[in-house]
């Protein structure tokens, strides 16, 4: 739901020993296109935390093809989800 805060989690159990960039970003994607690249939902957190809270912007249009992308050492798309008004 737009305007609400959610905890995003990811598995760090198989993280490589050499990580070139531990500062993470969480970006909103719609239909696999990065729509929030210039305004990430979160940034500059340690990707080895395995979780971080994000708030869906209030002006986000409803839809069912959204994904979150975790970026740090590489970009990882999460499963699709819906945003409702």
32 within a domain of the structure (yes/no): yes
Identify the pLDDT of residue 73: 64
φ/ψ (deg, to 5) at 49:
-65, -35
**Residue of 74 and 72 predicted with greater confidence:** 72
For 21-72, the pLDDT digits (tens) are 889 999 999 998 999 889 999 999 999 999 999 999 999 999 999 999 999 8
Both tokens of 48, joined, read 């080895």
17 within a domain of the structure (yes/no): no
End-to-end CA distance of the chain: 6
Both tokens of 22, joined, read 């531990």
Q: What are residue 52's DSSP bridge partners?
A: 8
How many domains are there within the chain? 1
Say whether pLDDT at 19 is over 90: no
50 within a domain of the structure (yes/no): yes
Identify the pLDDT of residue 16: 85
Q: CA-CA distance, 8 to 51, in Å (whole number)?
A: 5
Q: What are residue 63's DSSP bridge partners?
A: 83
Average pLDDT over residues 6-21: 89
Q: CA-CA distance, 28 to 20, in Å (whole number)?
A: 23
Q: Is the Cβ–Cβ distance between 29 and 77 less than 8 Å? A: yes
């Amino acid at each position: 739901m737009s305007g609400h805060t959610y905890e995003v989690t990811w598995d760090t159990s198989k993280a490589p020993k050499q990580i070139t960039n531990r500062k993470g970003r969480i970006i909103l994607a719609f239909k696999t296109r990065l729509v929030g690249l210039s305004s990430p939902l979160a940034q500059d957190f340690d990707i080895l935390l395995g979780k971080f809270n994000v708030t869906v912007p209030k002006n986000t249009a409803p839809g069912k093809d959204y994904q979150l992308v975790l970026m740090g050492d590489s970009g990882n798309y999460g499963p699709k989800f819906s945003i409702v008004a």
